[in-house]
Amino acid sequence: MQTSWRAAPPSTVGISLEAHISQQMEMSPGATGHFTSLLYQIALAAKLVDAQVRQAGLADVLGYTGDVNVQGERVQKLDTMANDTFITVIQRGQRACAIGSEELEDPILLPGGGRYAVAMDPLDGSSNIDCNISIGTIFGIYRRKSDPSVPGTLDDLLQPGTSLRAAGYLIYGSSTMLVYSTGPKFGVHGFTLDPNIGEFFLSHENIKVPQRGSTYSVNEGNTARWDEATRAWVEYLKQEDKETKRPYGARYVGSLVADAHRTLVKGGIFAYPADRKSPQGKLRLLYEANPMAFIFEAAGGRATSGKERILDIAPHQLHQRTPLIIGSPDDVATFERFAQEGGPVAETRAEPA
């Protein structure tokens, strides 16, 4: 006979995503449930995409559709499926007035009074699908600026990251995780999908980026295209120096959600800097850099373009690019010292004062 029942602690690992979102809503005075409902819709769409991604190896969905998206990249069937799934679910939920997607040249502008604008990369890293490397969905949620009596506008999406109401990502990896935040006050939380029952459960509560890490994540294949400061920064990290715990380990998957998630949990730095081929950087501000920057800052990390804080950048185009450097505060500061002081002359390779 059980003699006592141990009451669960107030906020424990293991609660469902729905319960967690409801708790956050209760902590938001004046909440109407619209935002909560939109988060539920994103989680539902993520489950549907996860089911397709898991079967991709078996079903005939790995091939290319033959189409080319607005980025000039050949579109894989899973890209199309993910884009259609998120858009359909969000539209049906009627809480959004505008959706900007990496897969669509123009935003979807919706009537019906939805209060939020969603910027998303439905399936990032899709070139890795065929080799079973982790891929993901990245999203940012803005409060609309336009009058709710009319359909949403492009301006509802062209907002700086400081205006984000929430942001997050899904990583479809060895397990599927949803990581999201509604801001530094509420923290960053990771939920792991239990595929047997189709529910997300809190597995990583209040994720904090370590003050400093021991790995750097950058595509060194671009070295010949980098400026001297970027080259000097990487060379500095590779030097042997016990006092500053160098060399750093190199880790690069080539899938943003995978590289960012590792950096978020373990610390260190991820960089996609500008180079001669991509003078504005490769990654997209609205639906890649901003959501990641929002998450990292909410977790105590930092996010810069090398010249300015990512979240401060005023967007002017839906698909505009930016250099993206995210990670532990100390490691991002080291990058900035090289970027802003032009880096030392090659032979010294010491960190600028």
Task: Print the binding letters for residues 34-73 with ligand P6P: x by CB under 6 A, - otherwise.
Answer: ----------------------------------------
Q: How far is the CB of 146 from ligand P6P (least distance, A)?
A: 30
* Contact residue for ligand P6P among 16, 127, 203, 214 (CB under 6 A): 127
**Residue 125 binding ligand P6P, by CB under 6 A:** yes
Cα separation, 35 vs 143, in Å, equals: 9
- 16, with CB counted inside 10 A (0-12, 13-18, 19+), is middle
Judged by CB under 6 A, which stretch of 19-27, 60-68, 122-130, 304-312 contacts ligand P6P? 122-130
Cα separation, 167 vs 162, in Å, equals: 11
Q: How far is the CB of 254 from ligand P6P (least distance, A)?
A: 5
On whether the CB atoms of residues 152 and 26 are closer than 8 A, the answer is no
Cα separation, 129 vs 131, in Å, equals: 6
Intra-chain end-to-end CA distance of the chain, in Å = 68
Judged by CB under 6 A, which stretch of 48-56, 184-192, 252-260, 329-337 contacts ligand P6P? 252-260
Residue 2 structure tokens: 């059980």
Interior angle at CA 184, CA 179 and CA 316, nearest 5: 80
Pick the closer one to ligand P6P by CB: 38 or 283: 283
Judged by CB under 6 A, which stretch of 83-91, 167-175, 200-208, 253-261 contacts ligand P6P? 253-261
* Contact residue for ligand P6P among 111, 112, 254, 342 (CB under 6 A): 254
**Residue 256 binding ligand P6P, by CB under 6 A:** yes
Strand 96-101 and strand 108-109: pairing? Answer: antiparallel
On whether the CB atoms of residues 188 and 326 are closer than 8 A, the answer is no
Q: How far is the CB of 237 from ligand P6P (least distance, A)?
A: 17
Pick the closer one to ligand P6P by CB: 39 or 123: 123
* Contact residue for ligand P6P among 124, 297, 331, 351 (CB under 6 A): 124
On whether the CB atoms of residues 76 and 64 are closer than 8 A, the answer is yes
At 228, the amino acid letter reads E
Strand 215-217 and strand 269-272: pairing? Answer: parallel
Pick the closer one to ligand P6P by CB: 152 or 273: 273
Q: How far is the CB of 19 from ligand P6P (least distance, A)?
A: 31
Q: Give 230-251 as a 3 state SS string.
A: HHHHHHHHHCCECCCCECCEEC
Pick the closer one to ligand P6P by CB: 127 or 214: 127
Judged by CB under 6 A, which stretch of 139-147, 189-197, 239-247, 255-263 contacts ligand P6P? 255-263
Q: How far is the CB of 283 from ligand P6P (least distance, A)?
A: 6
**Residue 292 binding ligand P6P, by CB under 6 A:** no
Pick the closer one to ligand P6P by CB: 92 or 276: 276
On whether the CB atoms of residues 117 and 35 are closer than 8 A, the answer is no
Q: How far is CA 272 from CA 260, 329, 332, 336, in A?
A: 11, 17, 12, 14
Q: How far is the CB of 180 from ligand P6P (least distance, A)?
A: 18
Task: Print the binding letters for residues 199-238 with ligand P6P: x by CB under 6 A, - otherwise.
Answer: --------------------x-------------------
| Host H or E run for residue 324 | strand 324-327
Cα separation, 172 vs 345, in Å, equals: 42
Can you name the residues that pair with 119 across neighbouring β-strands? Answer: 100, 140
* Contact residue for ligand P6P among 182, 230, 255, 328 (CB under 6 A): 255
**Which stretches of the chain bind ligand P6P, using CB under 6 A?**
124-125, 127, 219, 254-256, 259, 272, 282
